Amino acid sequence: MEASNIRPLQLAAESGVCRQALRLLRRGEQEPHVSTVAAIVRACRRLSGRAVRAADLFDLGDASTNPHHLVGVTEPRPSLPLPLPSSATRLAAFIWSHGFSRADVAVASDLSKNRVSAYFHGVDARLTNVRKLCAGLSLLLGRHVRPDEVFDLGEDERDPRVRHLRRRKRRP
C-alpha cells in the first residue's frame, strides 16, 4: 500500500473491507479469508493501476519449502481433463481434474474431511487453511500447487467482474 500511495481509507472504500479489519490484517493480528484477499487485491489493482498479485500483499506460503521436495517426489502426476459442471469451485475443479477424493486431500492437508468438503462447495477459507490445502495437494500431485490454482484470489484478468470494475470511473 505504501509503495503505491494507497491510503487505508481509500482501500477500505474500494474493497468493501472496513478500516478496522484492514488494520488488524496489516498488523498480523487477524488471518484473512480468501474473499477478503480477493477484494483487497482487486481494489489495489484498481487504485494503483498495476497488476498487483495476492503474493505481493499476503504470505501465501513459501515455494522453497514445497512438501513434495521433502518426501522425494520427482515426477509430477499428469492432469486428467474431465468435464466439470459450470458451478464448480476452483478447488472442486482441481480435485476432479486430478482424480483425487476429498478424503485423500483431507489426509494429505491435515484438515478434516468436513472442512475440505466445505471449501470444495465454496465456503470461504482462511489463508492458513489455503496454505495447508496447497501443501497437501502438492504432496498428492508431486509439484508445487499455487494458491491461485485452487482459489480465486482476485488475480484472474479474465474474470468479467474485474474488467467491469476497471471500466468504472474513479472519483477524484
Q: How far, CA to CA in Å, does 3 sit from each of 48, 56, 103?
A: 10, 11, 43
Residue count of the chain, please give it: 172
Given the C-alpha cell 484478468, which residue does it identify? 157
Strands in 103-150 per DSSP E: none
The pLDDT, as a whole number, for residue 68 is 43
pLDDT in tens, 57-67: 888 776 555 44
pLDDT in tens, 10-26: 889 998 999 999 999 88
Is the CATH code 2.60.40 the one for domain 63-150?
Answer: no
Q: Alpha-carbon distance 133 to 116, whole Å?
A: 8
**Segment among 3-17, 49-63, 128-142 with least mean pLDDT:** 49-63
Q: What cell numbers appear for 3 in the block? A: 509503495
Q: Are 8 and 98 in contact (CB under 8 A)?
A: no
Give the whole-number percent of the chain exceeding pLDDT 90.
22
User: What is the domain partition of the chain in residue ranges?
Assistant: 8-59+154-167, 63-150
Global confidence as pTM: 0.68
